Structure 1
Amino acid sequence: MVKNRRFEEEQEHGLGIRHLQTFLFFFALAVAYAQRVNLSVAVVAMTDAAEANPHFPEYKWPEKTKSLLLSSFFWGYVLTQVPSGQLARKFGGKITLLTGLSICSVLNILTPLFAKLGGWQLVCALRVVEGLCQGVVFPSVHTLLSAWVPPNERPVLGTAAYAGNQFGTIIMLATSGLLASSSAGWPSIFYISGGVGCIWAILFFIWGASSPAHYKKISTEERKMIEMAQASEATSEQPKEQMHTPWLSFFTSPAFLALIASHSANNWGFWTLLTEIPSYMKNVLGKDIKSNALLSALPYAAMFVMSFIFSAIAMWLNKRNCISTVASRKLFNSIGLWVPMCALIGLAYVSSDQSNLAVILLTITVGFNGSCYLGFQINHIDLSPNFAGILMGITNCVGNIMSIIAPLLVGFIVNNEHDVEQWRVVFFIAAGIYLVGNGLFIIFGRANVQPWNDPPSKPRRHSTPQVESQH
């Protein structure tokens, strides 16, 4: 008995193929975010080559054109969120993730050529297509995590995978200035981010898999451990492919609607800061371009580190069984949204001559947001392992509509980028949205598998949809 228990513990905590897959997911998200933010940092050098490297093309794009280019990615991104969740369930997360990021990586490499041949119009079209391709990323990764990660390891491995978001952002923000001023110039920003994506695609093609059943070299013990853990959440034995997607149940579930609200609130604050921190640092805090790049990356470095600290705390709480899963999700989500909310309110009253305090509050705001990886970010899998990718597609679609609206609202409010009071309004709005989003998650959020996770394989033609009660 003792020997068997020891063997089970080794299987649970030892390194296995599921950890290799998690690393590949981390790398995929790092590549995706690096390619997502590379234009926002490259466009500075593209429109002011004299300050970076005058030997490369310079484009006289006005501010409106630059804003159009920066938002064009999300036009395509929101369109493929929900369909890609369905595709990932049908064909496997590996195929959808590999296809989307491979195409996006090639397009990144072609960006300088497109800018030369077709100007901002062709670059804009290219970014829309990149957004369409990257729309598969989160639904695919969520589908893959639900297949590979046992329920008790979701906080740790889920956080490890999604930390790739911040890693890619950090690397791109921190190195962009050096790349733009190097002998390779601003085109190297696109060549390197696209080239690294192609390397990832090769590695994932060789070692990636949609599920343990599709990976030939996985040990029998690890495969059984994962599949038994997955089976413990299912109430039906029918194959996933035969399950009817319960759309009505999704949108009549208070738990899922609260998840949408929380995801949307997070995206509003996150993308407001990601797109506006460089401008705030330059115009309000008076930071020069070189320090601006490093200081812009600092909050995301803090988020990367803090996400692992919160993950360790969650694992410690889980081992001691001193907190329920739903309480854990709400606790960490509250830390991830309400601590930043308080920091944003403080930031709203920081004057322009208190730049160090402003940097500290910005770092707290973004750093503590990493706690959300243990909150709403993995709650989709809690509610429905069978439809986790589709749920992520829906919430990410709505959330990224917020990502489009938030910077546009900032542009409407901040007419004078040096005016502290106008930035105060921006921070108050983000803080208020954080308050409401997490409040709804606390009230209505759940962490148990919902009844609609296992719907009938074929819906009855004349049956009336039954709305399950949430407990």
Structure 2
Amino acid sequence: MVTCYLMRGSLVLALNEMTFRINKTVETTEKHQFCPMEETAAGKGPAEQTRAEFHWSQRMQHSVIKSFYVGYLIAHLPAGMISDTIGGKHVYGGGILLSAVISLITPFLAHLSPYTLMGGRLIQGFGQGCMFPSTSALVAKWAPPNERSTMTGIVQTGVMFGNAISYATSGFILGSFPTWDPIFYIVGVIALLWCFGWYPFFYSAPGNHPFVSEKEKTMIETQ
């Protein structure tokens, strides 16, 4: 969960460093027009944006962010159906792997155009949209019937924890490098390392796990 939210939240924070702020002409009630003063707080004034590279409108930036949630929404139903067919392990792991690849190529997509970045974020959202349906399938297989609600609560706690950790960690990473792109490489590599641990050691059901005893399998399935 933490890995998912690291990849999800990194772009939201990085956009502030990637794009130049746009001073809008403000119209007052007296019909006078003026441009707001540049902010002087550290790192907030347009003149101090040494890492900014893109002149994207606010609408374009919002579209880049929202594109993630389009893919996220689309993925839920097919992810649940596929999890029931091939197992939650492959759907969950595949979603993280797809998100990791998109994170690693995000700087490349951004330099091509905001539209390619939107496409990448849509795909990344699709990958992460597999998270909850596949998690539900895994809980149904691994948690004993009388403990499934507790297990689901633990999983949901990971969502809030991941959300909190992601913003704190992303902000720290952004402030530790002279450019904005390392954050995408770092979180992408973290996600790939997670995948290397997930695929060899996790199974979609206890019946498939070579190290779960018959007694444990019976307990999980019947308790």
1:266-285 map, 5 Å: none
Which of these residues, 167, 182, 186, is aligned with residue 188 of structure 1? 182
Greater Cα shift, 180-189 or 85-94:
180-189
Counterpart CA distance in 1 for 2:165 and 2:183 is 11
2: CA distance, partners of 1:182 / 1:54? 15
Partner of 2:130: 136
* Aligned counterpart for 1:150 among listed residues 141, 144, 148: 144
CA–CA separation in structure 1 for the residues paired with 2:82 and 2:99: 18
Displacement after TM superposition at 1:164 (Å)? 2.0
CA, structure 1 residues 96+141, in 2 after alignment: closer, same or farther (shift >3 Å)? same
TM-score by length of 1: 0.40
| 1:92 matches 2:64 | no
The offset of 1:106, in angstroms, is 1.1
Farther off after superposition, 72-81 or 186-195: 186-195
1:29-428 matches, within 5 Å, as 29-48=1-20, 51=43, 56-116=51-111, 118-183=112-177, 185-229=179-223
State the shift of 1:124 in Å. 0.6
Give the aligned CA root-mean-square deviation in angstroms: 2.0
Q: Distance in 2 between matches of 1:176 and 1:78?
A: 24
CA distance, structure 1, for counterparts of residue 194 and residue 20 of structure 2: 32
SS at match of 1:58: coil
CA deviation map 1:111-160 (0-9, x unaligned): 012112x1211111100111122221111010000000112222332222
Q: Which residue type is aligned with residue 99 of structure 2? A: C
CA separation of 1:188/1:171 partners in 2, compared to 1, >3 Å: closer, same or farther?
Answer: farther
Question: 1:190–1:170: structure 2 CA closer, same or farther, 3 Å change rule?
Answer: same
Q: CA deviation at 1:221?
A: 2.0
Deviations 1:271-301 (A, max 9, x none): xxxxxxxxxxxxxxxxxxxxxxxxxxxxxxx
Superposed CA offset, 1:153-181 (max 9, x none): 22332222222212221122112222222
Kindly state the Cα deviation for residue 219 of structure 1 after the two structures are TM-superposed. Answer: 2.2
Q: Which letter maps to 1:61? A: W
**Runs of at least 5 residues in structure 2 that lack an aligned partner in the other structure:** 22-41
- Structure 2 letter corresponding to 1:169: N
The CA distance in 2 between the partners of 1:59 and 1:186, in whole Å, is 12
Q: Which residue of 2 aligns with 1:403?
A: none
Counterpart in the other structure of 1:464: none
Q: Say if 2:9 and 2:166, in contact at 8 Å, map to a contact too.
A: yes
**Alpha-carbon distance in structure 1 between the residues aligned to 2:166 and 2:128:** 17
> Does the CA-based 8 Å contact 1:179-1:185 persist in structure 2?
no
User: What corresponds to 1:272 in structure 2?
Assistant: none
The TM-score with structure 2 as length reference comes to 0.82
1:183–1:37 Cα change, 3 Å: closer
AA paired with 2:175? S
Q: Considering fraction of residues, name the structure with more helix.
A: 1
Residue identity in the other structure for 1:51: G
Gaps of 5+ in 1: 1-28, 230-471
In structure 1, C-alpha distance between the alignment counterparts of 2:156 and 2:164, rounded to whole Å = 14
Larger Rg over CA atoms: 1
1:355-403 per-position Cα deviation (integer Å, ceiling 9, x unaligned): xxxxxxxxxxxxxxxxxxxxxxxxxxxxxxxxxxxxxxxxxxxxxxxxx
Report sequence identity in percent: 30
Give the distance between the partners of 2:169 and 2:49, measured in 1 at CA.
19
CA distance in 2, matches of 1:188, 1:167: 23
Higher relative contact order (CA 8 A, sep 6+): 2
Change in Cα spacing, 1:184 to 1:90, as seen in structure 2 (3 Å) is farther
SS, match of residue 106 in structure 1 = helix
